[in-house]
């Protein structure tokens, strides 16, 4: 290893890089444009708010409905529904401001599971209505006995940071309950709710997006860089030329990887800077961030090497690079969370290396989830060692 040769190659790469406006645009300006664009698109207010509902009393709904149907006003309230709660969901959906989403018993059937469910869907569940067990029966008894205190409360869990959203949902729900009380119980506060807070840090879309765009940027830079080195440089005779000079393949690869890492950290810094200055993202810089970016650079460079072992033509190799990066970009949770995809796609996402890079970066930088960051770092680190070793082993400067 000759450090001077490595430094020489690094500097040449750097000059060749910053003098190419196209490369500069795609590697630096493009990710920034994406952040500005997507940040702006998703920072706007939503059309309707999803109101999650956990109903422990659903199975009693039919019984309550049958009782209510015995008088005219009750009949009017229930309409064609056979379940009291379906009628309530229907009324709330009719407002066009809230959209009801039921948390199934299979997802959470008790307090503890509900907490876990909220935890697992961090950032998604911003308002949750909890209907306690036997709510309907107690409400019926209270109305029959004209004793308001016998009725139970519905709990509305809210994300305290979402003030506007909370105001809207609370308004919708209290209006609905007032009407219900007027219709069924002559105005007294039989149906009512109290609010609690959903204990979780609140994340904006941009918090989700910044780590994703860093992962994307490192991936494309590494894969295409490696493809260019092994196709264009081969076609142009640069690799043949180097083979006749004293530089070793090890020195060359090391120099190029150092340059790739340099690029990765430059684009990461620029992306973070824009994220912080424009969108006020708060990020944590820790060791996992470095491990993940270094591992990702090696892993994706290795993948590029493997591609060019089989596809020697420059244009075809670029297309092959696209065939790898594009699906990964969309499936591995760069632009939107995995949870909104169908389950089979979520399974596919979990075999994609970029998924672990993205998840790891989010855990490390945004969520502060050390265990998650460590897990994802280990996955991508091991993957990088294997793929890069294969890439180096099967790439030869020699001609057949």
Partner 1 sequence: MDYAIEVEGLTKIYGDLKAVDNISFKVKKGEVFAFLGPNGAGKTTTVEMIEGIRNPTSGKIKVLGYDISKTTKEIKERIGVLPQEFISFERLTVKETLLYFSRLYKKRADIEQIIDLIDLRDKKNAQYHTLSGGLKQRVGVAIALVNDPDIVFLDEPTTGLDPRARRDVWNAIAGLKNQGKTVFLTTHYMEEAEYLADHIAIIHKGKIVAEGTLEELINKYGEKSKLLIKGCKTKEVMEVLQKTGYDEMQARNETVEVKIKKREAVIDILFHLREKNLYYREIDIKHSDLEDVFLNLTGAKLHEEVA
Which residues here bind partner 1, judged by CB under 8 A? 4-5, 8-9, 12, 15-16, 19-20, 236-238, 240-247, 397-400
* 214 closest CA partner among 34, 20, 14: 34
b (16+ CB within 10 A) / e for 344-360: eebeebeebbbbbbbbb
Least Å from the CB of residue 251 to partner 1? 9
Nearer residue to partner 1 within complex by CB, 158 or 317? 317
Least Å from the CB of residue 262 to partner 1? 17
Contact 84, 68 (CB under 8 A): yes
Residue 332 backbone phi and psi in degrees, to 5: -90, 15
Least Å from the CB of residue 243 to partner 1? 5
Neighbours of 319 (CB within 10 A): 12
Nearer residue to partner 1 within complex by CB, 112 or 398? 398
* 220 closest CA partner among 3, 25, 61: 25
Nearer residue to partner 1 within complex by CB, 106 or 245? 245
Nearer residue to partner 1 within complex by CB, 72 or 400? 400
Nearer residue to partner 1 within complex by CB, 24 or 340? 24
How far is 292 from 382, CA to CA, in rounded Å?
A: 11
Nearer residue to partner 1 within complex by CB, 147 or 236? 236
Least Å from the CB of residue 245 to partner 1? 4
Nearer residue to partner 1 within complex by CB, 44 or 246? 246
How far is 170 from 73, CA to CA, in rounded Å?
A: 25
Four-residue CA torsion sign, 349, 285, 203, 368: positive
How far is 234 from 317, CA to CA, in rounded Å?
A: 12
Least Å from the CB of residue 397 to partner 1? 8
Bridge partners for 194 per DSSP? 155
DSSP codes of every residue in 272-283:
HHHHHHHH----
Least Å from the CB of residue 377 to partner 1? 35
Nearer residue to partner 1 within complex by CB, 18 or 310? 18
Least Å from the CB of residue 322 to partner 1? 22
How far is 9 from 247, CA to CA, in rounded Å?
A: 10
Contact 271, 360 (CB under 8 A): no
Q: Provide the CB-side half-sphere exposure for 43 (13 A, CA).
A: 13
Residue 399 backbone phi and psi in degrees, to 5: -90, 160
Contact 61, 85 (CB under 8 A): yes
Contact 310, 382 (CB under 8 A): no
Least Å from the CB of residue 242 to partner 1? 8
Least Å from the CB of residue 35 to partner 1? 27
Nearer residue to partner 1 within complex by CB, 20 or 197? 20
Least Å from the CB of residue 241 to partner 1? 5
Nearer residue to partner 1 within complex by CB, 12 or 382? 12
Contact 192, 273 (CB under 8 A): no
Contact 130, 103 (CB under 8 A): no
DSSP structural state of residue 55:
E
């Amino acid at each position: 290893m000759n450090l001077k040769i490595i430094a020489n190659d690094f500097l040449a790469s750097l000059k060749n890089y910053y003098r190419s406006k196209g490369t500069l645009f795609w590697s630096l300006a493009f990710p920034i444009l994406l952040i500005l664009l997507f940040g702006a698109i998703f920072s706007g207010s939503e059309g309707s708010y999803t109101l999650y509902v956990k109903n422990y009393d659903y199975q009693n709904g039919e019984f309550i409905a049958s009782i209510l149907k015995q008088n005219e006003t009750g009949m009017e309230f229930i309409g064609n529904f056979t379940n009291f709660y379906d009628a309530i969901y229907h009324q709330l959906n009719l407002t066009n401001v809230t959209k009801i989403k039921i948390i199934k018993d299979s997802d959470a059937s008790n307090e503890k599971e509900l907490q876990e469910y909220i935890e697992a869907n961090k950032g998604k569940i911003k308002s949750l209505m909890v209907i306690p067990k036997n709510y309907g029966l107690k409400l019926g008894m209270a109305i029959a006995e004209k004793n308001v205190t016998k009725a139970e409360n519905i709990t509305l869990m809210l994300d305290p940071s979402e003030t506007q959203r909370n105001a809207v949902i609370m308004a919708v729900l209290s209006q609905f309950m007032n009407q219900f009380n007027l219709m069924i119980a002559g105005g007294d506060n039989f149906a009512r709710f109290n609010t609690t807070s959903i204990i979780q840090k609140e994340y904006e879309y941009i918090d989700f997006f910044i780590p994703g765009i860093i992962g994307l940027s490192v991936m494309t830079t590494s894969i295409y860089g490696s493809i260019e080195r092994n196709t264009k440089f081969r076609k142009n005779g640069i690799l043949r030329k180097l083979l006749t000079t004293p530089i070793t393949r090890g020195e060359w690869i090391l120099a190029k990887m150092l340059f790739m890492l340099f690029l990765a950290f430059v684009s990461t810094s620029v992306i973070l800077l824009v994220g912080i200055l424009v969108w006020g993202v708060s990020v944590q810089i820790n060791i996992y961030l470095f491990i993940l970016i270094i591992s990702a650079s090696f892993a994706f460079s290795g993948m590029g090497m493997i591609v060019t072992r089989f596809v020697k033509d420059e244009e075809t190799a670029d297309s092959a690079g696209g065939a790898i990066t594009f699906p990964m970009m969309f499936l591995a949770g760069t632009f939107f969370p995995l949870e909104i995809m169908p389950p089979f796609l979520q399974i596919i996402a979990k075999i994609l290396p970029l998924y672990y890079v993205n998840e790891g970066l989010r855990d490390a930088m945004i969520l502060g989830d050390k265990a998650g960051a460590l897990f994802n770092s280990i996955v991508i680190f091991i993957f990088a060692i294997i793929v890069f070793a294969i890439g180096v082993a099967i790439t030869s400067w020699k001609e057949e």
